[in-house]
Structure 1
Amino acid sequence: MKKILILSSSPRKGGNSDTLCDEFLQGALASGNEVEKIFLRDKIIHPCQGCSVCSQYHKPCPQKDDAAEIIQKMLAADVIVMATPVYFYAMSGQMKIMIDRCCGLYTEMKDKDFYFIATAAEDDPKIMDRIVANFQGFLDCLENPTIKGTIFCGGVWHVGEIKGKEAMKEAYNMGAQV
């Protein structure tokens, strides 16, 4: 059994990338894993202020928001799933802000398995290469991360357009195989 943390950065509950998170979650639960999904939109996460309190002085971030709790859950997880809708060929701002807030404790994120999920209005599979490259900048700073899988579904913009797409089965099956 693995401890899985899903970070959904969709600004819409039930949005396309969020729906893929739910499918991944159902597959992972069916395989007996412990799974938690965090919907970043429901959290208060301020941008990093670059004050260096966390990295230089090894003290907790002085900002009083939900980022510290989420980072602790990332540290405790065996598997981290990061899901984003595509905005201007990159990850959502919500996801980028969350990643930036990891700067104080990223050196403690060791030996994690990662899965990346992305959806986009444009139906070009090369978009996922750009998204993975965005995430790779974060992983390059971690010790021994492994990308275990990626799911991309293009051609979906409006809520619900993901229904019936092959990516739904892919997400469930990927979650079941963790």
Structure 2
Amino acid sequence: MNKNILVVTGSPRKGGNSDILADSFITQVQERGFSVQKYEAAFHNILPCKACNACWSKDHPCFFNDDFNVFSTMLEAADVIVFVTPLYWYGFSAQIKLAIDKFYAYEVPQCPKPLKIKESAFIVCGSNPSEQGYQGIIQSYKDICAFTGWKNRGVLVVPGVTEKGDVRKKNYLEKVKKLCDNFKSSTEEVE
């Protein structure tokens, strides 16, 4: 079975550290035989969830017609989701959080297309040099996994990177490879 991996990024800075990490992950899992799509949430018009509970009332997840309804086709095709974001004020970037908040549409009773995602991973980077500063966002990610039932295949924290390309200088791309090793080849079954 060929797994479809969806990599969702949250940085508004093209070619920045989280973008480099995401692209490294994508290249390495493609080499392992996975199908991969990348969705750059920062470059799409996703409105905040308004808690209107009108999900699916117009034949698409969100009542409001924004880019989440286009993204939803990628989301519905995914078997695995990987979030890649810079750390912004000890949490997800606003751009990726807008997309994550709208996953709510897949948890409502009237959802006609439940997600088939079974596995996930998380990559976060930022200028904060202490890994302790990332504990809040890591806990948020783990809570999402617990709520959805996704098997967490790993968390990669990349602290102390500020300038574009810092991840290359500090050999974090090798750690991305180790994270990719947590995913079995596209033909192996997941336990």
1:58 Cα deviation (Å)?
A: 8.3
Instruction: Return the TM-score normalized by structure 2.
Output: 0.83
Residues 130-153 of structure 1: per-residue CA shift (max 9 Å, x gap): 2121223333331x2111011111
Q: Distance in 1 between matches of 2:58 and 2:74?
A: 18
Contact (CA 8 Å) 1:114, 1:147: kept in 2 or not?
Answer: yes
For the 8 Å contact 2:79–2:116, the answer to whether it is kept is: no
Q: Does 1:146 align with 2:151?
A: yes
Flag structure 2 segments of 5+ consecutive residues without an equivalent: 109-113, 184-191
Q: 1:14 maps to which residue?
A: 15
Task: Look up the match of 2:124.
Answer: 118
For 2:91, give the aligned amino acid: A
- Does residue 171 (structure 1) correspond to residue 172 (structure 2)? The answer is no
TM-score after normalising by structure 1: 0.89
Runs of 4+ in 1 over 4 A off after TM superposition: none
Percent identical pairs in the alignment equals 29
Structure 1 stretches lacking a partner, 5+ long: none
Closer/same/farther in 2, CA of residues 111 and 40 from structure 1, 3 Å limit: closer
Cα-to-partner distance string for 1:72-104 (whole Å, 9 max, x where unaligned): 322321110101100111111111111111111
The 1:27/1:119 distance shift into structure 2, 3 A limit, reads: same
Q: Match of 1:49, SS?
A: coil
Aligned to 1:90: 91
Distance 1:122 1:111 in 2: 31
Alignment length, in residue pairs?
176
Output aligned runs, 1:43-122, within 5 Å.
43-54=44-55, 60=60, 61-106=62-107, 108-122=114-128
Question: Is the 8 Å Cα contact of residues 85 and 92 (structure 1) preserved in structure 2?
Answer: yes
Q: Distance in 2 between matches of 1:106 and 1:80?
A: 16
Greater Cα offset, 104-113 or 59-68:
104-113
Q: 1:177 Cα shift?
A: 4.8
Greater CA drift, 9-18 or 166-175: 166-175
The one-letter amino acid of 1:166's match is: N
Larger RCO: 1 or 2 (CA < 8 Å, sep 6+): 1
Task: Please name the residue that 2:187 is paired with.
Answer: none
Aligned counterpart, 1:136: 142
1:161 CA drift (Å): 1.4
Cα shift readout 1:8-62 (whole Å, capped 9, x = no counterpart) = 101101111111000000100111110111111221111011111017x585322
